[in-house]
């Protein structure tokens, strides 16, 4: 199986969050997951929910702050071994073009 997720971890602070978000991303390196950060979070792909939840918790804890806000959205396809990238490819095939704007 492949489990794909989006993880967003952010300290609730009026300061720039980039340094803290970087700590969350760095924490993922200790786990057997693939990941890629986009402007609204980090897409994570793992072979097991154990690995996914452990990585997400580590990322959450790596961020310092009195208050930390985290969102984890999971798409757990239990009977298929589809890479995360295939989800975008299938949409682009249906669209007949890249799934992004020219803007």
Query: Phi-psi category of 83—alpha, beta or left, where left has phi over 0 and alpha has psi -120 to 50?
Result: beta
CB of 42 to a second copy, least distance (A): 7
* Neighbour tally for 48: CB within 10 Å: 13
CB of 29 to a second copy, least distance (A): 8
Which tokens in the block code for residue 20?
């803290």
CB of 2 to a second copy, least distance (A): 10
Sign of CA dihedral 83, 78, 51, 26: positive
Query: Is 53 in contact with 2 (CB distance < 8 Å)?
Result: no
Question: Per CB under 8 A, does 30 bind a second copy?
Answer: no
Site of interaction with a second copy (CB under 8 A)? 4-6, 8, 10, 12-14, 16, 18-19, 21-22, 25-26, 28-29, 33-43, 45, 49-50, 53, 56-57, 60-61, 65-79, 84-85, 87-88, 90-95, 99-101, 103
């Amino acid at each position: 199986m492949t489990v794909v997720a989006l993880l967003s971890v952010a300290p609730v602070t009026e300061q720039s969050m980039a340094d803290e978000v970087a700590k969350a991303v760095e924490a993922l390196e200790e786990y057997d997951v693939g990941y890629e950060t986009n402007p609204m979070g980090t897409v994570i792909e793992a072979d097991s929910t154990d690995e996914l939840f452990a990585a997400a918790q580590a990322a959450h804890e790596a961020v310092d702050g009195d208050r930390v806000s985290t969102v984890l959205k999971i798409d757990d396809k239990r009977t298929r071994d589809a890479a995360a990238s295939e989800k975008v490819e299938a949409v682009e095939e249906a669209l007949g073009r890249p799934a992004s704007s020219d803007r």
